Amino acid sequence: MKKPKRSKSAILPLWLLITACPTGWAETNHPPDYRKVMEELREIRKLLEQHDTKLSRIYDALEPHLDEIEQEGKKEKPRYRNQDDALEVLAKQLLPLPAEPRLPENGLIRRFSFTEGFFDEVDPFDELMQKRTQLIEGTLYLNGCYEHSSAPGYKAVAYLPGLDFKGFTFAHHFWPIDIRQGDVVVMGGTSYRWFGIVAGKENEATISMNNGRFRHGLGIRIEPQKWHHIICSVNPATKTINISYDGNLLPPVSLPEDFKLEVVGSKREQLDKNITFTNYSNGSAFHGFVDNLRVYNHALTADELKPAAE
């Protein structure tokens, strides 16, 4: 059965932000004390005034809704029993699942649809290595907190033993709750960060390779709170990258003549065959929803990408 079409952009839901980097009160199974919530939020803001952190950004987005929180707290029956319940309800309203694009099956080494768990549909004995993530209505929810930070951050890593650095392709849907310069969308390699898509200046979708030593802007702005689909086909042998973004096949990107992946020939060449949604160099972690993750052990051609753009 096909998944429903992706939804239009929606207003940022209040409880999605509250649950982004949960504090102690966000993990309880009891209805929150809304006045206490407001007091805690204001205290958090005071503590973080001098720091540019995820939590301060969450507060900035929440601030216009404080009156709404207060009014909700005065009701006898709040809309949601707890934060998990709120997240699931809002996901049903705002996040119809995107349709999986038409792509070839040849060379597919990983496919995660997240409809029934974290397992890989190509090899059901393999799973996404994860902690503190959630499956919400057939998507993977990531809370935007770095795994090794003081906040309860997440881990989401898919190991790719069948990956060939001579050519590879990533494809997935993503729905960012918020996005700003430096944030990661997807990253290959927890150590060498050999390929990734990050938000550049003014949130331009940007290729990042060799831990950011090679960067190339794609001329497209990453918009928050809507579904996007990206396919990245990388062919180091021909020094060419083909990108499909939201159904549009972009002009090919040319790599420098002397370009090479620094991970190749290193001691971590095999261990670093993985894909994640965290940049373990700068502590950036994707905040939002992910779906239909695919990885190929070769570079799809521009012709193979065309059906996904139709």
List, for the chain, all residue ranges whose pLDDT scores fall below the cut of 70.
1-97, 308-310
Contact indicator for 182, 198 with CB cutoff of 8 Å: yes
Residues 130 and 271 in one domain: yes
Does 120 reside within a domain? yes
Residues 115 and 83 in one domain: no
Stated as kind and residue range, the H or E segment containing 308 is none
> Of the candidates 77, 93, 109, which is a domain's last residue?
93
Residues 45 and 132 in one domain: no
Does 9 reside within a domain? no
pLDDT 10s digits, 123-152: 988 999 999 998 887 899 998 999 998 788
> Of the candidates 93, 125, 149, which is a domain's last residue?
93
* pLDDT for residue 8: 38
Residues 271 and 288 in one domain: yes
Does 2 reside within a domain? no
Residues 147 and 78 in one domain: no
Residues 166 and 243 in one domain: yes
Query: What domain count does the chain have?
Result: 2
Domain that holds residue 18: 14-93
Packed helices 66-74 and 34-47: angle between N→C axes, nearest 10 degrees: 160
* pLDDT for residue 98: 72
* pLDDT for residue 69: 54
* pLDDT for residue 32: 46
* pLDDT for residue 4: 41
Q: Please give the full DSSP string across 268-290, using - where no structure is assigned.
A: TTTTT-EEESEETTTTEE-EEEE
Residues 47 and 163 in one domain: no
> Of the candidates 55, 77, 93, which is a domain's last residue?
93
* pLDDT for residue 29: 38
Main-chain phi, psi angles of 208, to 5 degrees = -130, 125
Does 118 reside within a domain? yes
Residues 54 and 167 in one domain: no
Residues 67 and 109 in one domain: no
* pLDDT for residue 84: 56
Residues 106 and 83 in one domain: no
* pLDDT for residue 261: 97
CATH number for the domain that contains residue 288: 2.60.120.200
pTM, entire model: 0.75
CA distance 58 to 54: 6
